[in-house]
Structure 1
């Protein structure tokens, strides 16, 4: 019995991925032990934040880093930093930024909901979101045309949630930002490469600690030293409501240490093999087609994509998803393309034999419809 089952909650099989709604990552034993030790001691938090930034920077190769409660907090803090520029009088006024240089330019196709609206995180940091272009097409002139004396920063979202075609590329946006002497903030919450965006021209890059890195609820911003110092000052302002605990910071540090020393390519291939095995276990089911697809945002994640012939199967993808959730254990799959009759299985959080339970449940659901 899991600790959550002891509270009367259903066991969950997470075939959806590193999703905040399901608790993001199940941390490794080493991370949990590190956090337990940290929780039982005292430390000067400001010194810990500085030391954590130093350690994280040794992995990211950025000038400095600021730990956060998560990537969403990282957006708010980064925006606040670019608006207040280290001025504590201004920082204490946020999120009221009236009269300040507070406009944050974002492509319309990047103005997404990740569980909450991206632009709401901007507003929490005192930013006024300026959405440019159209939902399926943004060009450089849209961005440059919106820049004025009120512009504080440009914001680029790297996520599977965003429109993947027709947007101004990261590199083009970095060029525009630097040409206009403006900072570029990149939300790379679930990205696997923790060096790439800073090395290629971003000024502040935000990562989640609980996604690809596999840590606890946490995150960090890495980037230029001066901008990071402005980020840290927000803990005397809006960041106070978003502070990370000492044990979360230490868990993040241990998780990063383990992450950078892992063979992530080998892990990706092993997960791909799990999905190929699942596809074989579903091969005898009628009215579905199973294929292995790489993550739409280009990460080295391979998922089993199950396409349902809804008319022939007499059941929709949404109905199957609901039946999977309602069982015990409750199975959560990726439903991003359920409107197209597609269910995806993400292997990264599956435990031993979870793939077999998923296959058995899908047989039970689909064969039950056929035999009804």
Structure 2
């Protein structure tokens, strides 16, 4: 196995992790591309005006996504915060300076109830109030939808600045329907697509469906710097993001940002430091994200997915040979999804229950992280995308050791 006690984390006295759960930020996302690392190292060798670099990144993102413009953020979460701030403030410098205080400022973002999640806190950071609509009827099997299109339309008022949409294969109503309703009321749509790559075509899919702003993680499938994100969308909204994010501590006579991001002629003066100041992106992350995005676009999606599928099959086959475990593949028939392994523990025959097994793996050195969302159902998952073959063998060995001897 490649974790041989010679990582920087060992030097720091911190256990490294064998990642069998996928692109989880809490354990470092994915491993950064060599192209990105090289770009970051080169970026560290010289200075640059960050607004110039953001303008160059905007052009690259626009080309990749089909959007008017783009912006590099420090993660998809800050992309959502800046998206909300842009929808609230527009080009109004007074409102920008006021955020996140939205007293007497329209700031409602309509969101289907079943799209609500822990990450939508990012929208509220900008001062937005989320108005959720709909119910949870679809899961009851009654034939009803969770959110009917008319409910979204009825929730849009003079206080509405955007409609937010959490993109997943199962989310409803369809994005095109939501966009049509919002645009009929001149309201933009923000799409959280942080983890919706691959396939590469999703970079442009949501813009093509009419979304006004789309947030992607830069540190997951793109494999750029873990702290990076992408916001793609309408030019006027991206310009608002730039005004609220770039360092504006400048003397007006020499204030001359790139026109593609900040049109000085349209401004009454220099913007104040905006809500995005605490979300600044360094030159190294900017250069690293651009390089990673270029490499991601060039990769063969199907070849990568096939590699992950083959690895998942091998892992499942090996785990099936362990007496108290059953292993099944999920997503195996989908052309745009990662094949993963669902492992079911027969707790009547296993010397350890599922919680103890998963907890025991995490307590080792190196720590082993498997997917633990369903441990209450005696199941855990193994995602192959961040798991080299030698580490996959190690994970199987350690699981076998725990269930074969009562744990170690």
Q: TM-score, normalised by structure 2?
A: 0.85
Whether 1:172 and 2:181 are equivalent positions in the alignment is: no
Aligned to 1:34: 39
Aligned to 2:126: 125
The within-5 A match list for 1:131-210 is 131-135=132-136, 137-159=146-168, 164=170, 167-192=172-197, 193-210=202-219
Is the contact between residue 104 and residue 155 of structure 1 (CA under 8 Å) also seen in structure 2?
yes
Is the contact between residue 352 and residue 402 of structure 2 (CA under 8 Å) also seen in structure 1?
no
How much has 1:121 moved relative to structure 2?
1.0
Partners of 2:305 and 2:401 lie apart in 1 by 29
Is the contact between residue 351 and residue 403 of structure 2 (CA under 8 Å) also seen in structure 1?
no
Partners of 1:168 and 1:317 lie apart in 2 by 36
Whether 1:316 and 2:353 are equivalent positions in the alignment is: yes
- Consecutive unaligned residues of structure 1, counting only runs of 5 or more, are none
Partners of 2:194 and 2:286 lie apart in 1 by 17
How much has 1:37 moved relative to structure 2?
0.9
Is the contact between residue 305 and residue 342 of structure 1 (CA under 8 Å) also seen in structure 2?
yes
- Consecutive unaligned residues of structure 2, counting only runs of 5 or more, are 1-5, 138-145, 246-272
Aligned to 1:253: 290
How much has 1:292 moved relative to structure 2?
1.2
Secondary structure at 1:105 match in 2:
strand
Q: 1:53 aligns with which of 49, 58, 62?
A: 58
After the TM superposition, list the runs of 4 or more consecutive aligned residues in structure 1 that deviate by more than 4 angstroms: 295-299
Secondary structure at 2:182 match in 1:
helix
Partners of 2:12 and 2:136 lie apart in 1 by 44
Residue-pair matches, total: 363
Secondary structure at 1:53 match in 2:
helix
Is the contact between residue 159 and residue 297 of structure 1 (CA under 8 Å) also seen in structure 2?
no
Is the contact between residue 351 and residue 405 of structure 2 (CA under 8 Å) also seen in structure 1?
no
Secondary structure at 1:291 match in 2:
strand
How much has 1:300 moved relative to structure 2?
1.8
Partners of 2:356 and 2:111 lie apart in 1 by 36
Is the contact between residue 305 and residue 344 of structure 1 (CA under 8 Å) also seen in structure 2?
yes
* Higher CA-based Rg: 2
How much has 1:309 moved relative to structure 2?
2.0
Secondary structure at 1:255 match in 2:
helix
How much has 1:201 moved relative to structure 2?
0.9
Q: 1:82 aligns with which of 79, 87, 98?
A: 87
Whether 1:99 and 2:136 are equivalent positions in the alignment is: no
Whether 1:64 and 2:69 are equivalent positions in the alignment is: yes
Secondary structure at 2:130 match in 1:
strand
Root-mean-square deviation (CA), in Å? 1.9
